[in-house]
Structure 1
């Protein structure tokens, strides 16, 4: 069995375990089917009833969805488990020569359930197949779906953002509070669940303020390139950001009014 791309260590371990379990389950099993040779098959189960499993004897056959091969089976692999239980699943196809040995699903299951040890191995096989696909899906989409956020712990007085530094991250305070300073003068504060540091990311300018932890803080730092992904994956973060920016603009306007200057709009 082969999955597209370079498999992670966990997937490789699961793949090896699946092969071992199939071999154990087929021990002492009397295969009655006659090998069939196929070539250029778009959907294996258009040719066979769904109460059939198959043992790959030679060649390679692919699990395919929308024209894309997701994984490939070769000699020794047992295929058709999901299809034989009439579950929605990608098709099994091949453009090449493949030799398969048909196995009656009911015959095989009687063999499995006639022995408690084999029942255990069968359950283990199903769990391993599920875990392998979940790991594969997670590896496939981890860089596209999940922002690479990092968590940091800050002590009172620690500088989270330094005025004048380049903007590389957007931050959220998970717990704790921080103070905001501009040119050494306190101009605001930041509380839990507030998003900050986004303005410079949007404008591309250096940091316009310094943020210092007032209490012990846990913050989430999201790299600039992943910030858009965070907004897409967590709409609440976008709402919090807009609310925070509106609140800060209101505070700045009040400060300008107090100084007799023109408010920002």
Structure 2
């Protein structure tokens, strides 16, 4: 029995379908990853732990399958299945060893233990694809060319369905190969406004770390199709200037302000001394002079801390100089609206006394009335009152001239010192004529509310006013008749003249 088992083991030592002996491959892989595990565990060697424990477990499973393959050699069906499975495990372990040596060995130390996931994933996929194709050819004896031919249509359909993913993959190649988008480079993406440090470039997205240590995943194709601003690389020689706008008061001389701000920038820890910072007057604003502080940072990750430190030092420095930081403020000014046409209230009683209808009022009554009346100004052509309109006030012409018309026909004019509208004031009847300004006129308007307290205090005044109204009404009627006769006389003369000319053929 023992000799039979030893014979089966010796048959496994022959080179079969694989390039190397299965036991040798599994032993090398197992010993290598056990060594990596021990070096990291006991000596803190700092080797990459990627796929170490999983490969060790799979290698041990491979040894178990080797034993099962030896036991089932006499059973063709089971022996072939176990042998194929064991061959796949050997190929997987060999692929893991190659991947670790290339990615986690060579690239891991060449890139200072920070291998971009894009390169890691790409090389890992390539190695496993190659070993998978070799496995199909060696273990299962399948013609790879026939598989590629039959899956062309399927590949096209999958590619169409994964357009975005494929675009991200190809964009990832471009991002990875672009010197302006290397790891540890600070960038700003315009839309949306994102600023961050590139910490990793993967197949589908690029990882950015913002100033507040948040990680943002940006699709690769979005970076290639957007406007991206390079803000400099940590440890790189090329830096991007930072601009900080500060407003100081107009009472602080610009030369002194520039010197003060320059000294603050030169004292800041993370601001580069070469190229030196620069301060210039940028603009004159409503309440301040705006200065542009231009400086370069050793590492853009200190942007917020540097900005806050500079602003704080500016406040203290300005305060020590006896000035202050201007800020928006409002000044409320309370003022009484000024009349566009000032009125001499003291002279109004004398003007009112000069009118026939108010001449009978006493001094006190005229004074009280002058305090209530209003002065109105009309421009040339403006209508003061219109015929047949309702009204309850009279007007005293203080300056200028007006034209009077009835039914559209001019009947007279009004000048300084004359009044009109007394019937509407005292009886409330409608306006009997249309009065329009022939020039700029200043009118004193006396309404019913203005004269009512005077009448109530002196009821006998109504008798005097009624007599005056009767006299003025008679004069108005006579003027109207004369105007009508004069108009009729002119019309009759013209009519007879036309008849005579027609009769004599002239």
Structure holding more helix per residue: 2
Structure holding more strand per residue: 1
Q: Same fold (TM over 0.5)?
A: no
Higher alpha-carbon Rg: 2
Which one has more relative contact order, counting CA pairs under 8 Å at least 6 apart? Answer: 1
TM-score between the two structures when normalised by the length of structure 2: 0.20
